[in-house]
Amino acid sequence: MFNLIAFFMPKTLTKLEIYTTSLFSLILSGTADLFLDAKFNLYHYFHEGIQLIDYIAMIGIYPAINIIFLNLYPQKKNYKIKIFYFIIRSLFATIYEYTAKETSFFSHHGWKIWYSALIYPILFFILLLNLKFVRKLK
């Protein structure tokens, strides 16, 4: 569903921005998963350890979420609207993770859902900083 939305939505991002920020989101998520899943066993997709299906899930989720988040980001709005956007997106991501956990798509071991709720705004901010960096390089 995320991929359909990302594919068909009107774009404010260029193809280069979509490509580079999507690759960045995959590297960021892959690195986090490598340590938090494989090394510390705090959570996993489907089965413990890193497997091909985990990679497919990452490719199916992270670039689409990245494109939707950055494409809809209210760049020309005031900071209150931007903060509200971060809160809404982080709340949605937390609810999505909770739902994924309840359907066994995702499992927590030592990880708590509130950790994610605190980290999502930071991750979204990092994605935004990366987009600004890409635009500066361009």
- What whole-number distance in Å separates Cα of residue 131 and Cα of residue 4? 22
Q: Name the E strands within 1-138.
A: 43-45, 106-108
pLDDT per position as a tens digit, 46-78: 767 667 777 787 888 889 999 999 999 999 999
Q: Where are the domains of the chain?
A: 14-137
Residue matched to tokens 């600004």: 132
Report CA-CA distances (Å) from 91 to 60, 98, 103, 113, 119: 20, 11, 18, 11, 11
Higher per-residue confidence, 31 vs 74? 74
pLDDT per position as a tens digit, 98-107: 998 888 777 7
Q: Residue 108 carries which DSSP code?
A: E
Average pLDDT, the chain: 88
7, two tokens: 């594919």
Written as one letter, the residue type at 27 is I
Per-residue pLDDT band for 92 (boundaries 50, 70, 90) equals: very high
Higher per-residue confidence, 2 vs 105? 2
